[in-house]
Structure 1
Amino acid sequence: MTLSSGTLYVVATPIGNLEDITLRALRILREVDYIAAEDTRHTGQLLRHFEIDKPLLSLHEHNERNRVAQIAELLAQGKNVALVSDAGTPLISDPGFPLVRELRQRKLSVVPIPGPSSVLAALSVAGLPTDRFVFEGFLPAKSTARRERLRALAGEQRTLIFFESSHRVSDCLADMVTEIGGERLAVIARELTKRFEDVHGATLAELAGWLSADPNRNKGEFVVLVQGAPSATEADTPETRRLLTALLAELPTSRAVVVVAKLTGLPKRALYDLAITLNGSLAMAND
């Protein structure tokens, strides 16, 4: 079978275990004219393992825009190019978006070669809702910006998925406890498909403690998944009503809502609406 000419193939590669590469991915890598790689040294090791010898083009965040014209010209000449990242599916928190966008605008062929993805691998084993989710990639490196982003996401009802680095994951979990709530369920998926793979679920507060208890747990590559915020209906439970009623008797409404949100992980908007309802009921009872 002869490949169609002038095609960019977006090829997913293993995130750890080399056995996860697909037969189709191997065929494409063997048949294309060039391979554009995020790190040619890293990809070179993968290709040598599978005895593939192809010209490599570096394509990373610092040279991607300059490479676009070159790869577009190769495709226009009838050459086929495979795009790979260091691991997993290209473009998912990896280079490639400007290239794919430009090629599609030029009506050049772009074909996906699906395969491993740490996002979907983590989601499939997390035990959190999978019907609706949102991928946030890496949060800001600085705590102030990170907490601001987490604050904006605290009311998101879809399962939240993040990437995080080993040297920031503990600080990230601490900020999640502060801004999302320590009682929110979450999962850490570490070193997926690798020798020291570890998937651990608990509340955010418990996960933060679990990480700090053993320095080895802070090593590797992390996917952090957080259960979405409950809806207003889900927030209105007998237990939440009792807690909020007790605090409303002692604190202003806004302060009571903040305290309950931190204790339960429930969204402040839903708790505020419930607090207004409870205040009305209390007022009627006191008349």
Structure 2
Amino acid sequence: MQIQKSFEPHETGTLYIVPTPIGNLEDITYRALSILKTVSIIAAEDTRNTKKLLNHFEITTPLVSYHEHNKLEREQPLMDRLVSGESIALVSDAGMPAISDPGYEIVGAAIEQDVAVVVLPGANAALCALVGSGLPNQEFLFYGFLPRKKKEKEAELKRLGMAKATLLFYESPYRIKETLKDIATHLGDRNIAIARELTKRFEEYVRGTTQELVEWAEANEARGEFCIVVEGTTVEQLADEANWWDNLAIPEHVEHYIAHENLSSKDAIKQVAIDRKLPKREVYQAYHIE
């Protein structure tokens, strides 16, 4: 067990996780600016991008790159500085580090070496999109970017399709049309909203059904990064999914499991009996005898 008292004196430095604006520079906090000014170094996803932010606020703290392709080799040198007593701020290009951005690994390494990890509150695109979508937000599931490979993407959507929670995804302008089509295909006709260019001049929400947004995407040029907010499955949809076999005769039900789930006839009969809440012998008889 480990207990961290974030603001008591430490022999080591502190790793600060500092959210940065997702568009509007006025969304940075006074505390974030203070931390960026006083740490020994800032580890940034893209030093060129972060340099623009620092120049705007006249911050001269040195930068070092920390991104998806060098995070493993950068980790130990950064940890050495933290253990020696220096404090470091970790930032991504926009929003909260480690949320669909690099950061998880160095946070874990810091915790393992008893280095305090202090996370500042700040801008986050997914939460802005969720609240602005008008969809239920009592329970939600943040996924981030769906897999690029078609089979993996379909498998994830199928898995998520049973969730009652509102679903949150990130998507690029290059894949938004395809992703909306996949959502419509695998999650059915649900309420959905997309948000783009959040906090910027051309901020836009599009709300409707999955089919309506597919049509919108086909008719409009996709620009900016997108957040997709999808209504969770309803009780009625769960019931429909649960009884997908209603229109199948018992032999067809058994054959489905043999053909699509690669079950033996014995296991398929057992599963059909469970699905239909029937004695196994009754399913066996309907399949083998009748």
Aligning the two structures, in what range does the TM-score lie when normalised by the shorter sequence?
0.7 to 0.9
Q: Does 1:149 align with 2:156?
A: yes
CA distance 1:253–1:121, change in 2 (3 Å): farther
Q: Which residue of 2 aligns with 1:31?
A: 38
**Partner secondary structure for residue 137 of structure 1:** strand
Q: Shift in Å at residue 143 of structure 1?
A: 2.3
CA distance 1:173–1:67, change in 2 (3 Å): same
Q: Which residue of 2 aligns with 1:221?
A: 225
Aligned residue among 129, 137, 154 for 1:122: 129
Q: Which residue of 1 aligns with 2:193?
A: 187
Q: Which residue of 2 aligns with 1:271?
A: none
84-93 or 65-74, which deviates more: 65-74
TM-score by length of 1: 0.79
Q: Does 1:231 align with 2:231?
A: no
**Partner secondary structure for residue 182 of structure 2:** helix
Structure 1: state its 5+ residue gaps.
Answer: 256-274, 278-287
Mapping for residues 100-179 of structure 1, pairs under 5 Å = 100-179=107-186
Deviating beyond 6 angstroms after TM superposition, the runs of 4 or more aligned structure 1 residues are: none
Q: Shift in Å at residue 235 of structure 1?
A: 6.0
Contact kept in structure 2, 1:143 and 1:175, CA below 8 Å: no
Contact kept in structure 1, 2:162 and 2:238, CA below 8 Å: no
Give, in whole Å, the separation in 2 of the partners of 1:177 and 1:8. 42
Q: Which residue of 2 aligns with 1:90?
A: 97
Contact kept in structure 2, 1:13 and 1:85, CA below 8 Å: yes
Q: Deviations over 1:69-100 (max 9, x none)?
A: 11111111211110000000000000011100
Give, in whole Å, the separation in 2 of the partners of 1:106 and 1:77. 12
CA distance 1:147–1:230, change in 2 (3 Å): same
Q: Which residue of 2 aligns with 1:99?
A: 106
Identity of matched residues, %: 45
Contact kept in structure 2, 1:170 and 1:211, CA below 8 Å: yes
TM-score by length of 2: 0.79
The one-letter code matched in structure 2 to 1:154 is G
Contact kept in structure 1, 2:46 and 2:67, CA below 8 Å: yes
Q: Does 1:73 align with 2:80?
A: yes
Contact kept in structure 2, 1:122 and 1:223, CA below 8 Å: yes
Give, in whole Å, the separation in 2 of the partners of 1:31 and 1:6. 12
Q: Shift in Å at residue 179 of structure 1?
A: 0.5
Q: Which residue of 1 aligns with 2:66?
A: 59
CA RMSD of aligned residues (A): 2.5
The one-letter code matched in structure 1 to 2:69 is H
Q: Shift in Å at residue 231 of structure 1?
A: 2.5
Q: Which residue of 1 aligns with 2:212?
A: 206
The one-letter code matched in structure 2 to 1:152 is R
Q: Shift in Å at residue 276 of structure 1?
A: 6.6
The one-letter code matched in structure 1 to 2:217 is L
Structure 2: state its 5+ residue gaps.
Answer: 1-8, 253-274, 278-290
Q: Does 1:43 align with 2:50?
A: yes
